[in-house]
Amino acid sequence: MYICRMTEKILILDFGSQFTQLIARCVREANVYCEIIPYNKPFVIDSTLKGIILSGSPFSVNDAAPPIVDVAALAVQVPVLGVCYGAQLTAKQLGGRVDKSNKREYGRAILTIAGQDALLQGLPPDSHVWMSHSDSIAALPEGFEVLATTSSIPVAAFRRASGNGFPLYGLQFHPEVHHSAEGKKIISNFLINVCGCTQNFTPNAFIAETIENLKKQIGDAKVIMGLSGGVDSTVAATLISRAIGKNLYGIFVDNGLLRKGEFEQVLDIYKQLDLNVTGIDAKQLFYDALAGKTDPEAKRKTIGGLFIDVFQQEAAKIEDASFLGQGTIYPDVIESISVHGPSATIKSHHNVGGLPATMKLSLVEPLRSLFKDEVRKVGLALGIPHDLLFRHPFPGPGLAIRILGEVTEEKVTLLQDADDLYTKALKETGLYDKVWQAGTILLPVKSVGVMGDERTYEFTVALRAVTSVDGMTADWAHLPYEFLADISNNIINHVPGINRVVYDISSKPPATIEWE
């Protein structure tokens, strides 16, 4: 399977920090390609490797068996930057001392620059940084010097001032988090001033290299791909199509659980993009299979299993196919790799968990090295419509998990109509792009209402809107009261069968974004 490797890259060695992906995102935002690998995974240092960043860790360097790498050996070959645990490991291995702090330092601190250096170029004398550690560097190794301090710790940033090898730095704080005001500037300084990166990792460069490599990987073979109308699968399919044309065979299954009008709209977009896609109307199959099922996990398994059956039936009609295309992105890959101790596998993602045994196909995953925001940038460069690329996340099982209880065609229609009004109202008022995800949930209860002189007994829907950065945590969106009042009236007046609208003000955690 092909992974993009530009002419220059940064390697991030992961010691299990919860912030490791944020380091990678900061590097990518500077248009420099990087990869995250477990600290104990072998790797080759070649001419494309411009530098190495050592991540933080929940471990202490003073543990009986801490995760380690030979920092000195790395710094003989490329510039190295240690972050938090990485900085402490650097100090201890080269002869310094790391002690337990008098108290755990967590949260904001003021960084005061003590010495000018390429790493801190352009920073103000004082700036906010984010600390998260229980150990502190008590003494630097010989030949090292302090670059910055805080009121609590004497060594907040340091460098090797003398000795053989490439530049070697350590930061006791986390520059990668939002709360470190000049953090991105520090990382950018390391990439450009210290490592000499030319910042050539751009959407157009990625597209050109990926298409060329896809041509080499696939040749004249056929690729089958299941499409959903989502961002990742659409961008991946467009890249593959640019490489092999009509030898890509897309299959888009309508499971009856999509948003209102979505099947037809997405097929029209695929036609505009000149993708070779077959639409399969399987709504009734899914409705029949879901009849009587109320348990969320049972619904998920039913939908997933039936999708594979329908997909395989259609795929079997394509003779001599050799590859299966997938929209796997970098977080899927990272979350499916277990790092020693702290980064136990978060989930086994469907895109990296293997294929059905009956499908003897090799994988082709052109987005495997990209984060979600990078996928969108590539999509824009490919000419994919903005509305598709920036749609809110939508659950794989579709509206089935936004209908609490049994799924029926009647309930799906109710929810589609209500959700369509909600989505349109968010867009018309400019609120859509201000929230991470919004959706409507059909509750399994009816309540009494009054319309005109008549008594009603109809369904209730809950509106959900959250703000988030990555979906790992989320806060409920504080939508204006006037908006909520208007959309409530609109849904009740225009969707027969619904007479009550409520708004979900739960955050994640303790709640989840979806209700099931």
The angle subtended at Cα 40 by Cα 21 and Cα 81, nearest 5°, is 55
Instruction: Tell me the pTM.
Output: 0.81
* 3-state secondary structure (DSSP) of residue 249: strand
Strand residue runs (E) in 114-210: 126-139, 144-149, 157-160, 168-171
Catalytic residue among 105, 174, 262, 365: 174
The whole-number pLDDT of residue 336 equals: 54
Site of tokens 């190495």:
52
84 is catalytic: yes
* b/e burial code for range 373-396 (CB count within 10 A of at least 16 → b): ebbbbbbeebebeeebbebeebbe
Q: Give the span between the Cα atoms of 346 and 334, in whole angstroms.
A: 9
142 is catalytic: no
* 3-state secondary structure (DSSP) of residue 514: coil
Q: Give the span between the Cα atoms of 195 and 167, in whole angstroms.
A: 9
Q: Give the span between the Cα atoms of 274 and 234, in whole angstroms.
A: 12
179 is catalytic: no
Q: Give the span between the Cα atoms of 456 and 9, in whole angstroms.
A: 64
The whole-number pLDDT of residue 473 equals: 78
Q: What is the pLDDT of residues 248-298, one digit of tens each?
A: 999 999 999 999 999 999 999 999 999 999 999 999 999 999 999 999 999
Could you write out the three-class secondary structure of 41-95?
Answer: CCCCCCCCEEEEEECCCCCCCCCCCCCCCCHHHHHCCCCEEEECHHHHHHHHHCC
- State which residues of the chain have pLDDT below 70: 1-6, 102-106, 133, 335-359, 452-453, 470, 472
* Among 73, 63, 51, residue whose Cα is nearest residue 15: 63
Q: Give the span between the Cα atoms of 441 and 243, in whole angstroms.
A: 41
Can you count the helices (H) and strands (E) in the chain? 14, 18
User: What separation, in Å, do the N-terminal and C-terminal C-alpha atoms of the chain show?
Assistant: 34
Q: Give the span between the Cα atoms of 426 and 272, in whole angstroms.
A: 26
Q: Looking at residue 400, what DSSP letter applies?
A: G
Catalytic residue among 8, 176, 314, 365: 176
* 3-state secondary structure (DSSP) of residue 254: strand
Burial zone of 31 (CB within 10 Å; 0-12 exposed, 13-18 middle, 19+ buried): middle
Catalytic residue among 34, 84, 195, 197: 84
Q: What is the pLDDT of residues 386-437, one digit of tens each?
A: 999 999 989 889 999 999 999 999 999 999 999 999 999 999 999 999 999 9
Residues 169 and 158: beta-carbon distance below 8 Å: yes
Pairing assessment for the beta strands 222-227 and 321-325 based on DSSP bridges: parallel
